[in-house]
A and B are shown apart, each in its own frame.
Chain A
């Protein structure tokens, strides 16, 4: 109620002071001018004649806001005005050395329609040029000096709002913004608005789900991760295979958070798609450098994804049918404006395609069976607003992939038993079935509490697990028919499983003592259990049974951390975020302690340019061992151990932001990253054996320049980015210990994203990618090894010369899409049309060597040649969405 009254008063003040007035006077006293204003415009001015200076004024204004007219009249005097009740009180400013009192406005910023909190929205006082942004829960706190304020609330995709009022006491202002897309307006206001603010972050990109929704998607799938691939400094393999590589980092060096909980496997189909169901995503941001101290645990990037809380105003539902998946979501209030629930699911129906095709193919090969692949994701979240200061969330994610392959080959043969002069028939059966399943489960229970109006606390309990299971069964049987006698039976059954289980607890605080400081601090602990691969197998060979196992012992570790960071502003130009993160790992009776200093600073040179620089020291207590480099589920997460040290890195970044025009921003950044204690499988390692005995330790370097020109206003928006980078690795037992290019060392990387709004219901989008080919190894020579004087067959050696010495052809691809939105009274329908890889560029995934037998001069001859295996051809897509 208090808030409503306050808002009403603010509105009234704004209305009165914005009232247009006219005044024309020449060389009259100030007193005369004020009375003239009262008489002609009926303005409730209240003042004492004694305070008016004995000066004359000349003024001629027509239909100008009252506040502007008063300021013009009082120019050069020590007079000021404020609204008191329904009167405008004119008073004499006292000249005093006492600093102005500071008051704090705080609250939550929300979406007007759904009451979802807005993350990273800007709150900026245009008078004092001081501002802040909402935290991950939509909370903000801004301390400003007493007096007139003009607070601009803005957020990408939302209509900005300005509140003008006199600040004379601290207040809670829970503000709501209206979505631009809901209003079908054509302007998208950038996060920072037109006026250039000091950059608060380094190398950070925000991925607005509404913007991502408009991008062309693979198979019609909106995918936040594939949108991230379009940012500078973010690399991936052919069509996404291989996963995400940020500024030369490995696939396992990305901290991917769903509602602040780390997720270990973020890919479906080896990286073609991600586990993020776009219907569930509320916000996402990607940090590539300048990591604040609150983030830790990975070396190269942070992808912070927040899921929807659920519509607290009304029930809504959404369903989508695409070519690869079907999706649904539903959300609504449990108690209106107090608590809500959100549930969404995504299920692939790839098996509708794969099963019949594979069955047919196998039948042609003379066997019965099929091959299949499918996946699903489920997100659920509930939140309860217990009081104005307390809110509780429970969020869950579960996703899984499943691959299966089975077959039965039967054949019958007959032989003539000459001794008995009878035909004996036999039946041979070869049966196999194999499956790989992998999936994540993530859960978080959190409690938000606001202490006063300056301290925000968030306590969280987290759980995250990744499981991988591989099963196979092989039966080889020979039966004699008439009578049926089993003559021969071979059975092989095996199971491989690996997993990682996290239990965590943490508490984070945001403390905003004044407008110059934003302090974050917190602590947490994570208990991890690694089960890095256990293989068991059983065989039955006639009368002999055998069993065996190859197991890596489970490893348990405890990770504790504490961080403190302070974002300090010095005047209107300097901003510094200095912090430190302390991490400790206890594993196998060994303790690793790492202190990681972080520093970010920005300087506003002028209204259109700012410079920035950062230093980040990072540590990572776990490693991802990949045997293939294509994000297979069998890639193994392992812990730092008594023998294997944690990964370390340090990174420096420098850059500048240029505001080139309204909504047109150029961001230039350069970076250098040094990585140490990296591990990789030794060349030709046995990946099923104890991993610690089959790895080698090394280091990496990455440096580059990135340019991002982004247009965020107008009918046509989008960005163009260019990256120039060089990345290498060096391991003791790989490539003879010499440095070699990292697989995703793409020297040049150009990306273009365009979104054009044709009208209120239709917009078109396109993205084009042009990148240097990734590095790979290829043998161009061969020779033989044979002991001299020995009759043994020679062994052919393929001569690779060096790792990743060669480059794939330049990768390029154009995707286009059309997004149509039909809004009815109660139903909104959306139709997405898209074409992936429009001009059918066959970007190769790998090369293979094939031998063909050809007829050469009437004799058979073997001809060897390389074949190029591309992945995705031109793929039209359509998806239909209905929202209730």
Chain B
């Protein structure tokens, strides 16, 4: 809100000027479209890659996905596999996947993407070791009515313990998901009709250099302040359900130990998404590790634990 007030003041300062704004044709350098490669991969799963192309900032057309690319996965100089194209369906756009190769932790992988009309691009990354969640606890549950008549709000403390490996910089993403079961009551019998996993969002108010709420849920942090120690993280979380149609299930915690490039990309992406829209705010440059192109090729590992919230 404070940002909004300041923004209003800025808007006021340029009140007269803004009425005089005029379109200009800036001498934007003509940039050839580049390949955009996106792949966040983890162990024991097929490696998926999405390939699209960059657009001019003035281009208002939908993004173009590249479906005639050659996508190859290497370990050192050894070609492990050429990825296969999977044409998208519905809201899922086309992507490429390995069929036989599942990445393993500690191995440096390289991806090379070549498509007609584009400069070939490549990138490297690896999957760090998994960091196990040593303990996950929920306490101080408070249930209150929500703003809607049929809404119930659950607030509780979550405490999570893990051990950060020393002698190296480590990066993490922590996600919390609330399991929710939609149900119907027919003549007093409750029938669960599905299962939903809702990611819990964090406020950006606590953001700092080493800890940032991910724009799409969860938090990213590094071990700059606690390198090589037993870490106990506590959060106050909140989730809500419809009291008439939903039941609360387990709360899942996913601790991702990420490569540095994963952390830097998602950190900067999140900062750009949260950045103020006023024209004077300094920009955020999103991290990129695709040589000759854009995007991210980064590995991560994950550990999951869950706890049941007793109502």
Q: Are A867 and B21 in contact (CB under 8 A)?
A: yes
Q: Are B280 and A846 in contact (CB under 8 A)?
A: yes
Find residues 657-696 in chain A having any chain B CB closer than 8 Å to their own CB: 681-690, 693-696
From the candidates A694, A783, A869, name the one contacting B279 in the complex (CB within 8 A): A869
- Flag whether B287 is at the interface (Cβ < 8 A): yes
From the candidates A403, A689, A735, A863, name the one contacting B12 in the complex (CB within 8 A): A403
Q: Are B9 and A403 in contact (CB under 8 A)?
A: yes
Q: Which stretch in A441-449, A534-542, A609-617 binds the other chain?
A: A534-542
From the candidates B24, B56, B59, name the one contacting A847 in the complex (CB within 8 A): B24
Q: Are A470 and B2 in contact (CB under 8 A)?
A: yes
Q: Which stretch in A717-725, A773-781, A822-830 binds the other chain?
A: A773-781
Q: How far is the CA of A825 from the CA of B295 in the complex (A)?
A: 79
Number of interface residues of A (CB under 8 A): 94
- Flag whether A629 is at the interface (Cβ < 8 A): yes
| Most-contacted residue by chain B among A543, A683, A870 (CB, 10 A) | A683
Q: Are B280 and A472 in contact (CB under 8 A)?
A: no
Which residues on the B side are within 8 Å of A750 (C-beta)? none
Which residues on the B side are within 8 Å of A780 (C-beta)? 28-29, 31, 56-57
Q: How far is the CA of A867 from the CA of B28 in the complex (A)?
A: 13
Which residues on the A side are within 8 Å of B23 (C-beta)? 850, 865-868
Which residues on the A side are within 8 Å of B77 (C-beta)? none
Q: Are A791 and B285 in contact (CB under 8 A)?
A: no
Which residues on the A side are within 8 Å of B215 (C-beta)? 795
Q: Are B20 and A864 in contact (CB under 8 A)?
A: no
For residue A403, which residue of chain B has the nearest CB?
A: B9
| Most-contacted residue by chain A among B28, B207, B283 (CB, 10 A) | B283
Q: Are A777 and B283 in contact (CB under 8 A)?
A: yes
Q: How far is the CA of A784 from the CA of B12 in the complex (A)?
A: 33
From the candidates B14, B63, B205, B295, name the one contacting A688 in the complex (CB within 8 A): B205
Tell me the smallest distance from the CB of A808 to a CB of chain B, in Å. 10
Which residues on the A side are within 8 Å of B206 (C-beta)? 686, 689
Say whether chain B's binding surface is mostly helix, strand, loop, or mixed: mixed
Which residues on the A side are within 8 Å of B14 (C-beta)? 845, 869, 871
Tell me the smallest distance from the CB of B7 to a CB of chain A, in Å. 10
For residue A550, which residue of chain B has the nearest CB?
A: B205
For residue B282, which residue of chain A has the nearest CB?
A: A683
Q: Which stretch in B111-119, B176-184, B246-254, B265-273 binds the other chain?
A: B265-273
| Most-contacted residue by chain B among A783, A794, A846, A849 (CB, 10 A) | A783
Q: Give per-residue flags for B238-256: 1 if the beta carbon is below 8 A from chain A beta carbons, else 0.
A: 0000000000000000000
Find residues 682-712 in chain A having any chain B CB closer than 8 Å to their own CB: 682-690, 693-696
Q: Are B280 and A781 in contact (CB under 8 A)?
A: no
Q: Are B95 and A788 in contact (CB under 8 A)?
A: yes
Q: Which stretch in B35-43, B165-173, B190-198, B226-234 binds the other chain?
A: B35-43
Which residues on the A side are within 8 Å of B96 (C-beta)? 788
Q: Are B208 and A689 in contact (CB under 8 A)?
A: yes
Q: Which stretch in A116-124, A249-257, A797-805 binds the other chain?
A: A797-805
- Flag whether B286 is at the interface (Cβ < 8 A): yes
From the candidates B22, B25, B294, name the one contacting A799 in the complex (CB within 8 A): B294
Which residues on the A side are within 8 Å of B54 (C-beta)? 781-783, 799
- Given A788-B49, A799-B54, A866-B24, A632–B10 Cβ distance below 8 Å? yes
Q: Are B287 and A785 in contact (CB under 8 A)?
A: no
Q: How far is the CA of A783 from the CA of B55 in the complex (A)?
A: 6
Find residues 382-408 in chain A having any chain B CB closer than 8 Å to their own CB: 403, 405
Q: Are A535 and B12 in contact (CB under 8 A)?
A: no
- Given A684-B275, A869-B279, A492–B1 Cβ distance below 8 Å? yes
- Flag whether B58 is at the interface (Cβ < 8 A): yes
Tell me the smallest distance from the CB of A789 to a CB of chain B, in Å. 5
- Given A686-B205, A789-B92, A794–B13 Cβ distance below 8 Å? no
For residue B20, which residue of chain A has the nearest CB?
A: A870
Q: Are B147 and A541 in contact (CB under 8 A)?
A: yes
- Flag whether B26 is at the interface (Cβ < 8 A): yes
Which residues on the A side are within 8 Å of B48 (C-beta)? 787-789
For residue B208, which residue of chain A has the nearest CB?
A: A693
Tell me the smallest distance from the CB of A195 to a CB of chain B, in Å. 49
- Flag whether A303 is at the interface (Cβ < 8 A): no
Q: Are B273 and A436 in contact (CB under 8 A)?
A: no
Q: Are B21 and A848 in contact (CB under 8 A)?
A: yes
Q: Are A788 and B38 in contact (CB under 8 A)?
A: yes
Find residues 596-633 in chain A having any chain B CB closer than 8 Å to their own CB: 627-630, 632-633
Q: Are A781 and B21 in contact (CB under 8 A)?
A: no
- Given A434-B8, A735-B285, A788-B50, A629–B280 Cβ distance below 8 Å? yes
Find residues 185-237 in chain B having any chain A CB closer than 8 Å to their own CB: 204-210, 215-216
- Flag whether A836 is at the interface (Cβ < 8 A): no
Q: Are B207 and A694 in contact (CB under 8 A)?
A: yes
- Flag whether B60 is at the interface (Cβ < 8 A): yes
From the candidates B50, B56, B147, B207, name the one contacting A781 in the complex (CB within 8 A): B56
Q: Are A684 and B284 in contact (CB under 8 A)?
A: yes
Q: Are B280 and A799 in contact (CB under 8 A)?
A: no
- Flag whether B18 is at the interface (Cβ < 8 A): yes
- Flag whether A366 is at the interface (Cβ < 8 A): no
Q: Are A696 and B209 in contact (CB under 8 A)?
A: yes
Q: Are B271 and A434 in contact (CB under 8 A)?
A: no
Tell me the smallest distance from the CB of A476 to a CB of chain B, in Å. 12
Q: Are A371 and B12 in contact (CB under 8 A)?
A: yes
Q: Are B22 and A785 in contact (CB under 8 A)?
A: no
Which residues on the A side are within 8 Å of B278 (C-beta)? 628
Tell me the smallest distance from the CB of B173 to a CB of chain A, in Å. 13
Q: How far is the CA of A282 from the CA of B145 in the complex (A)?
A: 67
Q: Give per-residue flags for A324-366: 1 if the beta carbon is below 8 A from chain B beta carbons, else 0.
A: 0000000000000000000000000000000000000000000
- Flag whether A733 is at the interface (Cβ < 8 A): yes
- Flag whether A270 is at the interface (Cβ < 8 A): yes
- Given A630-B10, A634-B6, A864-B60, A494–B1 Cβ distance below 8 Å? yes
Q: Are A798 and B272 in contact (CB under 8 A)?
A: yes
Which residues on the A side are within 8 Å of B110 (C-beta)? none
For residue A866, which residue of chain B has the nearest CB?
A: B26
Q: How far is the CA of A542 from the CA of B270 in the complex (A)?
A: 33
Q: How far is the CA of A846 from the CA of B31 in the complex (A)?
A: 23
- Flag whether A227 is at the interface (Cβ < 8 A): no
Which residues on the B side are within 8 Å of A795 (C-beta)? 215-216, 269, 273
- Flag whether B135 is at the interface (Cβ < 8 A): no
- Flag whether A714 is at the interface (Cβ < 8 A): no
From the candidates A628, A788, A870, name the one contacting B10 in the complex (CB within 8 A): A628
Tell me the smallest distance from the CB of B31 to a CB of chain A, in Å. 6
Q: How far is the CA of A870 from the CA of B14 in the complex (A)?
A: 9
- Flag whether B76 is at the interface (Cβ < 8 A): no
Q: Are A783 and B52 in contact (CB under 8 A)?
A: yes
Q: How far is the CA of A788 from the CA of B53 in the complex (A)?
A: 14
- Given A436-B9, A794-B63, A779–B282 Cβ distance below 8 Å? no
Q: How far is the CA of A632 from the CA of B184 in the complex (A)?
A: 56
- Given A542-B147, A780-B31, A863-B60, A434–B93 Cβ distance below 8 Å? no
For residue B288, which residue of chain A has the nearest CB?
A: A799
Q: Are B283 and A683 in contact (CB under 8 A)?
A: yes
Which residues on the B side are within 8 Å of A693 (C-beta)? 208-210
For residue A695, which residue of chain B has the nearest CB?
A: B209
Which residues on the A side are within 8 Å of B78 (C-beta)? none
Find residues 133-147 in chain B having any chain A CB closer than 8 Å to their own CB: 144-145, 147
Q: Are A496 and B12 in contact (CB under 8 A)?
A: no
- Flag whether A842 is at the interface (Cβ < 8 A): yes
- Flag whether B17 is at the interface (Cβ < 8 A): yes
Query: Could you give 21 example pairs across A and B, Cβ below 8 Å?
Result: A371-B12, A436-B6, A474-B1, A627-B281, A627-B282, A632-B10, A688-B205, A689-B207, A733-B209, A779-B57, A784-B36, A785-B38, A788-B95, A789-B86, A789-B92, A797-B286, A802-B285, A864-B57, A865-B23, A866-B24, A867-B21
List chain A positions with a Cβ less than 8 A from chain B: 241, 269-270, 371, 373, 403, 405, 434, 436, 470, 472, 474, 492, 494, 496, 535, 537, 541-544, 550, 627-630, 632-634, 681-690, 693-696, 733-736, 777-792, 794-795, 797-803, 842, 844-851, 861-873
Closest CB pairs A-B (n = 7): A684-B271, A693-B208, A788-B48, A788-B95, A791-B91, A788-B50, A628-B280
